[in-house]
Amino acid sequence: MKKLIFSLMLSLFALVAVLPAQAQCVMCKSQVEAARQERDDYDVDGLNKGIVYMMTVPYILMGAVGFFWYRRTHPKRPTKM
């Protein structure tokens, strides 16, 4: 039970502690650099946030599948009173 609480708290902390990331692929980066040369005030923060958002969805899905797989394959232990 303590391990479950610890892992939930760690997961919650990882979701809350957002770090800035440069998550652009090569094609996106080249397009942004080309647009930046045309316009000086082009902002790339929205593009970075969109890429990070698209990157997190597969991890959430894999975590959910792993969680349900674990719950299904490991039987519940009897509680001691």
pLDDT tens readout for residues 54-67: 888 889 999 999 99
Q: Please report, for the chain, the start and end positions of each structural domain, with discontinuous segments joined by +.
A: 44-74
pLDDT at 40 over 70: no
CA–CA separation, 67 and 19 (whole Å):
25
pLDDT at 25 over 90: no
Residue 11, pLDDT score: 87
| 7-11 average pLDDT score | 89
Residue 52, pLDDT score: 78
Higher-pLDDT residue of 24, 51: 51
**In Å, how far are 28, 48, 52, 67, 74 from 25, measured between CA atoms?**
5, 10, 11, 30, 39
Residue 15 confidence class, pLDDT cut points 50, 70, 90: confident
